[in-house]
Each structure stands twice: as structure tokens, then as C-alpha cells.
Structure 1
């Protein structure tokens, strides 16, 4: 990825807000990248590099130029893929295969996380801007595949990424989830704005050992602080606390 920046988060940390607000939650919705696995695994860094290589080859650019163009598409269209489809008629399946042709060995099994997800009452979903094969491989590496009812990916969203409102509407329509009885876990604040507005409990995942919100500099260029209910740097530990409070 491009460089990350951090901003202080004067928000609500684990155990400083009443976790009983999760009582009545019937659907638990998890982002994938840098949420279900730690950011230091650098899986998304590999994806970003793959995308830059794809752009470089397609447009006959060097790596630096390709990353600049990738960034431009990201801001103009929401994702590099949408920009390439709009301006260069790229086949999305070809793009997604290349973007996710990465090494998953950096992901270690996380039985503690799996145990806590399994203990949550109700339905569980992965909701990702990546594609289903990537989500399936990642969940398998973590050892948590069997705990999820379904994966809602970028293809199911008609290639419309979060944080577009239409994407959440499609997810809710497909799954039948009631947002006021749901919770969503994400590593990007901007992707929690719509869920929070719909009445979901929202949890922001930040890097381990920090009390700051880390974001891509790409996002910080135009992002306002979004409302979130909880912030944690330990998803498994947070879920354990939730399970103990409901």
C-alpha cells in the first residue's frame, strides 16, 4: 500500500462503554481485509502491489506511474476496478483473479477468534470489497470458514464497493438482515458511516497495540471522521467481552 497515516481517536475503547448494547443483535457482519486478520499480515499490501502491476501492464506504465494512476481511479471511481472498467473496458474477472493471486501463508490460524465468532448468537456474514474466492481462501487460512453463513462480495454487489449506500442496501436485501438488529466490524471508518446511520452497532478495528486510527493516506485526503460506537485493537478479545455481556 501507499504510506499509512495515523490520527488520534478520542473515542470509545474496549470496556469503556456498555457492551450490553449488543443484546438483541441477530446478525454479525465482518469486513475481511485488515479486520478478520491483522494488518501486519500484509495481505492487502500484496493485493495493492498486484493491482499496481496490472495497471502498469495494461497502460504501459512504470510501477510509480501505475500507482499514481491507481490512486487517481480510486478517488474518482471508488475503486481502481471501476475506473479501469469505465475507461478501459477491463474484464472484472480477469482483474480480480490477478489482484488476488497472492501468498496466503502469512495468515495464521486463529482458533481464539473462531471460538468467539462461533459463540455469537445469530447469523454471521463476511461483507467484503474483495471477491468470494479471496474471502474463502482467507477464511480457510484463519480456520473460521464454518462459522459464516455467507460471503457478500464485490461481485454480489454488482461491482459497487462500500461505502456506497447501494452496496449496503443490496447486502440487506439479499440477506434479509435487519440493520437495527445487526453489528458491523470494519477497519475503515468511512465504511461504517452508512451502517451507523441505519442503526447498526459499529466497531472499528485498529492495528494491534495502538490507540490510534490508521488509515491509508488515500482515504485521509477527503475523509471526515465517521461515527463509530466502539474501537478495538483486539477483535477476538472484544468478541469475548461481547459474548460475556449478552
Structure 2
């Protein structure tokens, strides 16, 4: 699924392209989160000396109440984040696809291209390098760069925009979680929900990738299950506009 005939002309005024990482730059079907989720449970159990079932319940509670398990552990237990981030993101990346077409499409977009993740910057660097798309980006912003405030906290978006001098009225955000698009849209970002084509209804809500039904919100401007195809459609619109504005 690409743009499916959607009017992409509003994007000609945008020149900052912001991409979430997990389940956005790669398909949710890769299921990297399952690995991260298990490693978070392991860490919580060890850090708080809990049985695994207790640790998992607390992990999910903190995710729901604080936006990330990390933020909950920091707030409620004064945990230093470095060891947590190093542990949970040391995962096997072999399920990831190599995406030369995606790299070409992102690199061809006019303006700056940034990765903005609730994971660590190292995680973003590892994933994008493995997928061979890292050369398309001008910068990466991880949870540590936001003072450990996760999306959809307003503080997180404010920190991102300040760090990279982003004017939301000139930016577009690609995300796999519709709730993370709401604050961005209110700030002036154009928004694209990258959803999964697989049925994830068997998964708990907090671990469930977005589906097409999640597009039924005013803060979702565009919907796609095919990021590369969507960007290729975008390029057909924004590249001629960029060339025209450059003049002879």
C-alpha cells in the first residue's frame, strides 16, 4: 500500500522528514519488539529481585503509567538508565530486511532526514546500519537526547525540535503508533501512520502494532503499510516542486 491516490501536494512545503525507528523503518512483522520485551522483563526481574511474572506485570504497569518501562523505573526507583538501555537493545538484528530501495527514497527527499526514537541512539544506529539505510539520514535522536522523556510527552517533542532546530510547520513525522502522532500534529507536523498489514489482535494492547483502523483520527494525515512505496509516491510530487522553487 502506498499513497493510494491521497493528495500529497501539501507535503511540498515540508523539508524536514522525521522517522520513528521500530515498526516504522522496518515492518512490524520482523517482531523485534518481542526480543526487546523479553529483555526488559529480564532486567526488571534482576534489578528489583522479582519473580519473572511479577516483573512482567510491573513492566507493563510502568509502560502504561509512564510512557516507557524505563521512565517508570527511573521515576519510581531512581534507576540510572544506561545499563537498562544497553541491556534491552542488545538484540539479534537478523530478522531485519536490507532496504536499498528505502535508502534511495529517503536520500532523495528534499531537505533534512532525521530518526526520532523512544529507544536509544545506539539502537537507532545499529538498526539503520544493519538495514543499510544509515547513510540517508542527517541525524538521530534517542530517548537520552530527550532527557528520557518518551513520546508522546510534549517535553519529548520540544526537546527534539530544539535539538535539531525543527520548525513543525515544515516537518512531517512517520510513526507506527497513532498516539505519538497527536502531539506532533497539534504542533504543526504533517503526520503519516505506518501500519502493519498483519492481524495483531492476539497481542496485548501495549504491544500491538498499528492497524488501518487506527487511522480514524484527525491527527493522522496519511496512512500506509508500505513506507518505501509511499515515499516513492511522495517523490513524484515533491521533487518537481523542489526543482521549480530552485529556479534556473
CA contact (8 A) 1:27 1:124 kept: yes
Query: Larger % of helix: which?
Result: 2
Are residue 218 (structure 1) and residue 206 (structure 2) matched? Answer: yes
What is the rounded CA distance, in whole Å, between the counterparts of 2:177 and 2:204 in structure 1?
9
Residue of 79, 93, 98 corresponding to 2:82: 93
Tell me how far apart the structure 2 counterparts of residues 122 and 214 of structure 1 sit (CA, whole Å): 40
Aligned residue in 2 for 1:33: 22
Name the counterpart of 1:109: 98
Deviation at 1:214, TM superposition (A): 10
The structure 2 residue matched to 1:239, chosen from 226, 231, 234, is: 231
- TM-score normalised per structure 1: 0.88
Unaligned runs of 5+ in 1: 1-12
Deviations 1:43-96 (A, max 9, x none): 121111100111111222232221111011112222111111122222200010
Alignment partner of 1:161 is 2:150? yes
Q: 1:127 to 1:39 in 2, by over 3 A?
A: same
- Measured after TM superposition, the shift of residue 164 of structure 1 is 0.5
Native 8 Å contact 1:209 1:233 kept in 2? no
Is the 8 Å Cα contact of residues 47 and 100 (structure 1) preserved in structure 2?
yes
Once superposed, which parts of structure 1, at least 4 consecutive aligned residues long, lie more than 6 Å away?
212-215
**Cα 1:216/1:150, change in 2 over 3 Å:** farther
Change (3 A) 1:156 1:166: same
1:106-158: CA deviation from partner (whole Å, max 9, x where unpaired): 11210111111011000000000000111000000110111111101100000
Would you tell me which structure has more strand in proportion to its own residues?
1
Distance 1:68 1:113, change over 3 A: same
**Shift in Å, 1:103:** 0.6
Measure how far apart 1:197 and its partner are. 0.9
Structure 2 CA distance, aligned partners of 1:30 and 1:115? 15
For the pair 1:179 / 2:168, whether they are aligned, the reply is yes
Q: Which moved more, 1:127-136 or 1:72-81?
A: 72-81
CA distance in structure 1 between the aligned counterparts of 2:109 and 2:188, rounded to whole angstroms = 19
- What residue is the counterpart of 2:138 in the other structure? 149
TM-score by length of 2: 0.87
Count residues in correspondence: 232
CA 1:136–1:207: 2 relative to 1, 3 Å? same
SS class of match (1:105): coil
User: Which 5+ residue runs of structure 2 have no aligned equivalent?
Assistant: 209-213, 239-248
Cα root mean square deviation, aligned = 2.3
